[in-house]
Amino acid sequence: MHSTGRSGHPHGEELATSDEGRPPQTPVAEHGSAARRSRVWEDGRLVKRGVPEAELGGYLGKPGAVVWLDLCDPDPREFGRVASMLGLDPIAVEDALTARERTKLDRYANYLFLNVYDIAFDAESAELRTTELSAFVTENALVTVRSGSGLDLADLTARWDSEVDLRDHGVGFLLYGLLDYVVDGHFAVVQSLDAELEQLEDQLFDPGADDRALQRRSFALRKSLVLLRRSVLPMREVLNTVMRRDLRIIPDGMAPYYQDIYDHVLRATEWTEGLRDMVTSILDTRIALQGNRLNEVMKKVTSWAAIIAVPTAVTGFYGMNVPYPGAGTHWGFLISIVLLVITAGALYFAFKRNDWI
């Protein structure tokens, strides 16, 4: 993937330069906050940031102009104005403002509605942090809607800035950067979960491992894997839909780049399914090891019970109130002691030889 990393740089003033390193024709100043940001490109060159809402409509109808608008937890009234400007359907607007929509790509008459999840893994708690991200893709605009401030798009904008040669592809390039950014995050989480599960496998055969901690960790990772699977698997269908030629979203020059994302989605999907089998194998192995340990304990307890049972039988026999050889004599007592020692010792060595003790 063409990735620049996901370092999560803080929001701040961006350097206002054009592709050639010269100041753009229109002064560039980021007036938007983390709750609202926007950019405008014309013929592949960044010309303005922090576009006032009143000016967005003019750029939307301007030939060669491409607009990106990012909204974080938008007010329904504010988003209603944007929806009217873009001609968005009420059902799509509702999906964008509703939390916990499934990962999907819906096709409308003049635009696409995309809903995906950015995922991060907390190694300490073995839990996933998910941030829902919706996007409206029109012919010359990309509008992203985020829930919460957990997702920082500074890395995404940096990626758009670094791919100078691809900016001429307009919205297809912006959508590529967004999908690539999301899939990179999924792939990083899959790698982290794989490393965690490998550590669990090593701890399975560690005699000093804490069984309860191992069990809690196993179930926490299993829960995270289920959540990851819900976000990763539908991405394959999303990419399949985006790459359909009849949608005409992807320019011919961007097709190989989308194919690269699709290949990484397939790999992440297969890897996730493999991790699902791995965590099931870890749980089954742990149960089998517990059964084997229980068998070892029961074997030893049974062997010692057998050793104790023979002396008990001998002493019980000599304790009967009937005459027997040596009863009431010193030599009879000695014979019983010798018999106890010999039989118990013979049983001990027999069990030891058969690895029962």
Spans of all domains in the chain: 36-288, 299-353
Specify the pLDDT at position 76.
Answer: 86
Predicted TM-score (pTM) of this structure: 0.72
> CB of 18 within 8 A of CB of 46?
yes
Q: Give which of 205, 264, 203 is closest to 238, Cα–Cα.
A: 264
Identify the sign of the CA torsion 75, 137, 13, 9.
positive
Average pLDDT, the chain: 81
Q: What is the pLDDT of residue 327?
A: 66
**pLDDT tens digits for range 7-58:** 443 333 343 333 434 334 433 334 444 457 889 999 888 888 888 877 888 8
pLDDT range class, residue 276, cuts 50, 70, 90: confident
Q: What is the model's pLDDT at position 180?
A: 93
Q: Which amino acid is at 281?
A: S
Average pLDDT over residues 59-76: 88
pLDDT at 313 over 70: yes
Nearest to 313 by CA among 291, 336, 333: 336
Query: Which string of DSSP letters, residue by residue, matches 12-77?
Result: -PPP---TTSSPPSS-------TTEEEEEEETTEEEEES--HHHHHHHHTSTTEEEEEEEES--HH
% of the chain surpassing 70 pLDDT: 85
For residues 11 and 154, the answer to whether their CB atoms sit within 8 Å is yes
pLDDT band of residue 317 (cuts 50, 70, 90) is: low
Query: 4: pLDDT confidence band, cut at 50, 70 and 90?
Result: very low
Q: Does residue 260 register a pLDDT over 90?
A: yes
d(CA 128, CA 193) in angstroms, rounded, equals: 10
With CA atoms as reference, report the closest residue to 227 among 179, 186, 199.
Answer: 186
pLDDT at 321: 60
The predicted structure's pLDDT at residue 324: 63
Angle, vertex CA 277, rays to CA 272 and CA 278, nearest 5: 90
Could you tell me the pLDDT band of residue 318, with boundaries at 50, 70 and 90?
low
The percent of residues above 90 in pLDDT, for the chain, comes to: 27
Whether pLDDT at 204 is above 70? yes
Segment 124-136 mean pLDDT: 91
Using DSSP, how many helices (H) and how many strands (E) does the chain show?
A: 8, 7
Model pLDDT, residue 308 = 81
Q: What is the pLDDT of residue 217?
A: 86
pLDDT at 116: 94
Range from 35-39, 100-104, 230-234 carrying the lowest mean pLDDT: 35-39
Was domain 299-353 assigned CATH 1.20.58?
yes
CB 154 within 8 A of CB 8: yes
| pLDDT band at residue 320 under the 50/70/90 scheme | low
Class of domain 36-288: alpha beta
